[in-house]
Amino acid sequence: MGLPVHPFRIEIPQTDLDDLSRRIAATRWPDEIAGAGWSRGVPLSYLRELAQYWAEEYDWRAAESRLNRYPQFRTTLDGASVHFLHVRSRHPEARPLLLTHGWPGGVAEFLEVIDPLTDPTAHGGSPQDAFHLVIPALPGYGFSSPLPGPGWDVARVAGAWAQLMSELGYSRYLVQGGDAGSVVSLALGALATEHVAGVHVNMLMTFPGPDSPPPISLDDRDRARLDGLARFDQELSGYLKVQATRPQTLAYALTDSPVGQLAWIVERFKDWTDSAKVPEDAVDRDLMLTIVTMYWLTATAGSSAQFYFEGAEGMRQVVAGASPPPVTAPIAVAVFPKDIFLPIRRIAQHQYPSISRWTEFEAGGHFAAMEQPESLVADLRAFHRELR
């Protein structure tokens, strides 16, 4: 291998954890409009209770220990320091699989799927279902920080991932992702056609374009999904527009206030998941707080938001229905019903003719690996079998 790859362990100083607790205790709380619930943002009573739990009961050391069970490394790709997990299966014929997270996520969002994917015989599968996993943190996220400079858009990340897989000795592999991870996975499929055997995504944005199927040809479900895209643009996309235009200004608030960082992320878990009243209806509370804590401890609120700034023009093209770069490898689309972006199959098939698998699930939302790990694992195994 040409690049130095260094073993890595997460070892947060106790002084950082003590400082977090102190800052939470010193929070200056706002008032709120009575009876607003979640309609104006995160409710005060909910966030107070969650912040108290974070400071007094949540166990970062347990999360740290759980992450450190898996081999972790750091290397430099295109000038960026990248942290990644590399978990090889005990089954020698396992297929390499690259998992990419999105925002507000990180490598920890895959904790529930690592063991079933690498050791399927212990989790209801067969040796033929096994994967060797590579799970990198996006540049500017978590321990893949700080960012070395501007320019880290989707295409550049895809190129870095291709380099990483080559350096690890994998010449043929599958890729999977949700949120930004789905966009990076599709870009990698278009870039490294001779290496990517298949692309699995659990989010796909299908905005109609000039050459899309006409609206009159869409059924009621598809039209409802178009309405959902309109709601996202009108109500749920404030975070995106701030991060895509003023990430540095946002960084000051979120890097200084842990409760501000908590609210910024927790609201996404409420809006984007299959939850009834609170995010914990869909996602384990401690796992959600592990995600938040990693952003806080690494001070990556701002650097992670830079990814949106770099990708703003690409997002505008997606919303305009521009044709994406062609992906020749088979594509599998896993659709979880409470995701913020529910794809329209006719448009998706038009934009990505190589879609070979389409699965509509009955439960789950945007964070599939955290909300519905068994379903995600089963769909990945099924896609893998189809490609054998």
Catalytic option among 179, 222, 271, 286 = 179
Walk across the sheet containing 173-177 and list its strands.
6-7, 72-77, 80-87, 131-136, 95-100, 173-177, 196-201, 331-335, 355-360
Catalytic option among 83, 366, 379, 384 = 366
What is the signed CA dihedral for 10, 133, 372, 360, rounded to 10 degrees? 150
Catalytic option among 46, 141, 308, 352 = 308
Task: Based on the residue annotation, tell me whether 366 is a catalytic residue of this protein.
Answer: yes
The half-sphere exposure of 1 on its side-chain side, counting CA atoms within 13 A, is: 16
Task: Based on the residue annotation, tell me whether 179 is a catalytic residue of this protein.
Answer: yes
Task: Based on the residue annotation, tell me whether 379 is a catalytic residue of this protein.
Answer: no
Q: Which amino acid, residue 284?
A: D
Active site (catalytic) residues = 179, 308, 366
